[in-house]
Amino acid sequence: MPDPSVGIVGASGYTGSELVRILSRHPAVRLAAVTSESHAGKRMSDIHPHLEGVCDLELVKAADLGAVDLVFLALPHGVSMDFVKTRANGGGRIVDLSGDFRLSSAAVYERWYGKAHACPERLDGAVYGLPELNRDRIAGAPLVANPGCYPTSAILALAPFLRCGLVSPEGLVVDSKSGVTGAGAAAKAATHYPSVNEDFKAYGIATHRHTPEISETLEAASGAAVELIFTPHLLPVNRGILTTAYARAKEGVTQADLEGAYEDAYSGEPFVRVRTAPPSIQAVRGSNFCDVFVKLVPETGRVVAVSAIDNLVKGAAGQAVQNMNIMMGIDEQAGLDMVPLSP
């Protein structure tokens, strides 16, 4: 039996190129097709010179994708849901890396994304693809909504404490710092080199679209309403998200309780490493690891949880392949054993 085939729709961006990096070395699937509306006719390595000799597939239009067993959608939000709507019948299973199928309802989507949802009928069937929380439901899902990069880092840092009732669901602060690839491959004034290098700033304060994704998932984990504030910042690095999250410990909670909650949640997880020193983005770069760390300040009962991921890997393409592995019944670590590149 031949290996299952997969395709990448929207392969010209960073997420698409990371999918190719991983899938071109995957032992159990075959990358059959890559699409790009604007670059159709060129080879992947024309757009991404580092892939010369690694993947020389020719880009085609999405309409010419053909039949594959699973499709990765590396499309902007808004575009993804249109594709899903069209592809609905007989198009194979889907891992969507956009934000289109991550929220609980079309109403919430419309409030945060500023447009009506084009395919609300598939929202209910979509599974939020964070394996550490939803592994069982991912396995059988026809459509997996791959989590956002910031939410992956925030949720893996905080969910164990909320699930165990160790911290208050109110007054959470999620202060996140992301590398520039999180803003995509298209040149913009905000990502012009001299505007980012030797600079640092906050943006989208209290208005970023990942806010409801974090809240809803933490609420699902904790079974209670969660109140949080989320502030993203732009770091002058290519890759990586570091999230520093603050919560208030419930009465009597100890450092050991917090560490125990991480241990319970992650000791069997291949991609989450519970660290004994504050994590750094360099230690996960290029890999599918999420490093987490927690510290209780006993005098004030404050909890500081820190997590680090590579936004393009565990925050996007790597997690998407992890979801694919689960969906296809392949070893979950297949193709994902990349050692972090440090320094």
Q: Do residues 320 and 19 touch, judged by C-beta distance below 8 A?
A: yes
| Chosen residue from 203, 223, 254, 263 binding a copy of itself by CB under 8 A | 203
Binding residue count for a copy of itself, defined by CB under 8 A:
81
DSSP string computed for 1-68 = -PPPEEEEESTTSHHHHHHHHHHTT-SS-EEEEEE-TTTTTSBHHHH-GGGTTT--PBEE-GGG----
CA 140 to chain centre: 19
| Chosen residue from 218, 261, 265, 306 binding a copy of itself by CB under 8 A | 306
Considering only 100-108, 123-131, 158-166, 333-341, which stretch makes contact with a copy of itself by CB under 8 A? 333-341
Considering only 42-50, 158-166, 259-267, 324-332, which stretch makes contact with a copy of itself by CB under 8 A? 42-50
| Chosen residue from 117, 177, 209, 314 binding a copy of itself by CB under 8 A | 177
> Helix, strand or coil for residue 251?
coil
Sole residue written with tokens 């909504």: 145
Q: Do residues 181 and 21 touch, judged by C-beta distance below 8 A?
A: no
The yes or no reply on residue 199 touching a copy of itself (CB under 8 A) is yes
Residues 216-235 that bind a copy of itself (CB under 8 A): 227, 229, 231, 233, 235
The yes or no reply on residue 339 touching a copy of itself (CB under 8 A) is yes
On the 0-12 / 13-18 / 19+ scale of CB atoms within 10 A, 323 is: buried
Gap between the Cα atoms of 7 and 306, Å rounded: 35
Least distance to a copy of itself from the beta carbon of 234, Å? 9
Least distance to a copy of itself from the beta carbon of 85, Å? 31
Considering only 93-101, 116-124, 153-161, 290-298, which stretch makes contact with a copy of itself by CB under 8 A? 290-298
Catalytic annotation, residues? 149
Gap between the Cα atoms of 258 and 8, Å rounded: 40
| Chosen residue from 116, 200, 263, 329 binding a copy of itself by CB under 8 A | 200
The yes or no reply on residue 278 touching a copy of itself (CB under 8 A) is yes
Which residue, 44 or 144, is less far from a copy of itself as judged by CB? 44
| Chosen residue from 3, 69, 175, 259 binding a copy of itself by CB under 8 A | 175
Closest listed residue to residue 221, CA positions, set 107, 292, 128, 96:
128
Helix or strand (DSSP H, E) at 128:
strand 126-128
Residue 45 identity:
S
Least distance to a copy of itself from the beta carbon of 64, Å? 25
Least distance to a copy of itself from the beta carbon of 91, Å? 28
Which residue, 90 or 343, is less far from a copy of itself as judged by CB? 343
Residues 15-34 that bind a copy of itself (CB under 8 A): 17, 21, 24-25
Which residue, 139 or 334, is less far from a copy of itself as judged by CB? 334
Gap between the Cα atoms of 95 and 284, Å rounded: 23
Residues 47-86 that bind a copy of itself (CB under 8 A): 48-54
**CB-based contacts of 271: which residues, under 8 Å, 6+ apart?**
288, 289, 290, 314, 318, 322, 333, 336
Which residue, 79 or 338, is less far from a copy of itself as judged by CB? 338
The yes or no reply on residue 341 touching a copy of itself (CB under 8 A) is yes
The yes or no reply on residue 255 touching a copy of itself (CB under 8 A) is no
Q: What angle do CA 41, 47, 52 make, to 5 degrees?
A: 100
Which residue, 287 or 325, is less far from a copy of itself as judged by CB? 287
- Check residue 239 and give left, alpha or beta (phi > 0: left; psi -120 to 50: alpha): beta
